[in-house]
Amino acid sequence: MDGEPTIVAPGGQPLAEIPFVATDVETTGLEAAGGDRICEIALLRFLRGTVIDSLVSLVNPLRPISPGASSVNGITDAMVADAPAFSDLFPEVLAFIGDDALVFHNAPFDLSFLREEARLAGGTWPGNPVIDTLVLARRSRMFRGHSLSALCGALGIGSRFHRAEADAYATGKLLLHLAGTAGPGPGVLRAGPPDSCGG
């Protein structure tokens, strides 16, 4: 699919009644294609506005975390030294997400890492429906800034930022705020190639 993803109403159900998995990763740097790796993952399943299940783990990236990344996310090499590698977590991740829609803020970034980690683990990242709150926020034309922290500040969503669990929680809450303002009803962005999800 080319261009910006299409919002489609999933059976006409209110978004809050549909389980979705808010997802965030912290990484050793900014370029999955350049060898950077995931060092923390958070998957939070939301239903009716609350988290009903979660999978959160530090990840041993099998390489050093860059000083720049560590200064942002606060994760050090010592913190991940005894953590599982992504390849060890991958079956659990797949079982957790099932067929649920995945919610990201700036989906192309996270998906680039998840797809590369899946490849390195000898598998393939699944084609679950993807919802990108960055796309929805831009489409709403309601905000000056579109970073996760700026949007959450504007909407009064309290959270710490730059750790996977906190960012996933903020992303899930942000989606519930945005769903009625960013397009034709609560909807799911159809899964597409990485560069079609971020808008």
pLDDT at position 7 over 50: no
- Residue 16's domain comprises 7-193
Question: What is the Cα–Cα distance from 113 to 100, expressed in whole angstroms?
Answer: 19
Please give the model's pTM, rounded to 2 decimal places: 0.84
The total number of structural domains that make up the chain: 1
For residue 13, what is the domain's CATH number?
Answer: 3.30.420.10
64-96 pLDDT per residue, tens: 999 999 999 999 999 999 999 999 999 999 999
Interval 42-53 mean pLDDT? 95
* Among 92, 93, 87, 77, CA closest to 116: 87
pLDDT range class, residue 13, cuts 50, 70, 90: low
Q: Is residue 2 part of a domain?
A: no
Q: Is residue 23 part of a domain?
A: yes
CB–CB of 59/84 below 8 Å? yes
Q: Is residue 169 part of a domain?
A: yes
Question: What is the Cα–Cα distance from 111 to 57, expressed in whole angstroms?
Answer: 17
By CB atoms closer than 10 A (0-12, 13-18, 19+), residue 144 is exposed
106-140 pLDDT per residue, tens: 999 999 999 999 999 999 999 999 999 999 999 88
Question: What is the Cα–Cα distance from 88 to 50, expressed in whole angstroms?
Answer: 28
pLDDT value for 66? 97
What is the residue-wise DSSP string for 145-156? Answer: --SHHHHHHHHT
Angle between helices 86-97 and 107-120 (to 10 degrees): 120
